[in-house]
Amino acid sequence: MKKRNEHRKERKEHKEQAQHGQGAVRYSFAPGQSGALNLQVDFRFARAPETYYYADALSISDDKEMGVAILAFGRTRPEGGLRDRLDIVMPEVSLFVGFLNSAVPIEPTIDQQLEILKLRPVSRMVAGTVQSRGTLYANLIFMSTGGGESCLDFYYLPVRDIHFAKTVVGSEISLQPVIRIPTSPVLVKQMLNLCREFAGELQSRVDLKRSPERAKQRAKVS
């Protein structure tokens, strides 16, 4: 019985340590947590989005009831006003936490670009009355910048694939390209500033929700 338990423990540890996946997404099982995955995304092996949309205007809103954020990208007319818009919906946590954290090592480069080009962030809002070219959905962004331009590649990591990765060992997790937004570092800097504002609001809401729970826990302990 002791040896059988040891074998089971070894198989469990091997499952947790083994890395699965052959494409841009690799994963392993988190130790001690049933069903939890450690995901690693290497965008070098991801297919680039085939659809492009140049944007020089941006507004961000959030739907608190649904827990999603809406990025409204727009293109301005030379004579003023907006030509059209494209909306991209993302989970709040993906944009205001995941994307912001991934941008930390890149933002100093953006600041240097703006300083060299003698540019600064500008607020070009996208009005809700402007004709929309459609609404897309993504949950990951790969950001690159250099040479006076920036690029935002939007991807979708399917929750369906994550489900099968948890239930069928060795299943692949795909990374689906959604759209590429080539733009100026001016717009990307403004996007980061807007995301930080919403991130603060999101953190405040999370703290408010946790406070009553913590109060109940303290009451039970006392």
pLDDT in tens, 125-147: 998 788 889 999 999 999 999 98
Distance of alpha carbon 108 from alpha carbon 155, whole angstroms? 24
Band (164; pLDDT cuts 50, 70, 90) = confident
pLDDT range class, residue 7, cuts 50, 70, 90:
very low
What is the average pLDDT across 180-206? 91
Which structure tokens are listed for 137? 């959905």
For residue 191, pLDDT beyond 50: yes
Name the least confident of 32-36, 40-44, 96-100: 32-36
The pLDDT score that the predictor gives to residue 33 is 61
User: What pLDDT score was predicted for residue 166?
Assistant: 85
pLDDT band, very low/low/confident/very high, at 204 (cuts 50, 70, 90): confident
Residue 159 has pLDDT above 80, yes or no: yes
User: Do residues 154 and 136 touch, judged by C-beta distance below 8 A?
Assistant: yes
The pLDDT of residue 6: 47
pLDDT band with cut points at 50, 70 and 90 for residue 118: very high
For residue 15, pLDDT over 80 is answered with no
Bridge partner residues of 135 (DSSP): 87
pTM (two decimals): 0.82
Q: Is the pLDDT of residue 106 over 80?
A: yes
Q: Greater confidence, 6 or 155? A: 155
Residue 30 has pLDDT above 70, yes or no: yes
Q: What is the pLDDT of residues 62-89, one digit of tens each?
A: 999 999 999 999 999 988 889 999 999 9
- Tally Cβ neighbours within 10 Å of residue 94: 16
**What's the average model confidence in pLDDT over 104-112?**
96
- Quote the mean pLDDT of the chain: 85
Q: How far apart are CA 37 and CA 115, in angstroms?
A: 41
Instruction: Name the nearest CA neighbour of 136 among 185, 103, 183, 87.
Output: 87
Are 138 and 90 within 8 A, CB to CB?
Answer: yes
**Where do the domains of the chain lie?**
48-213
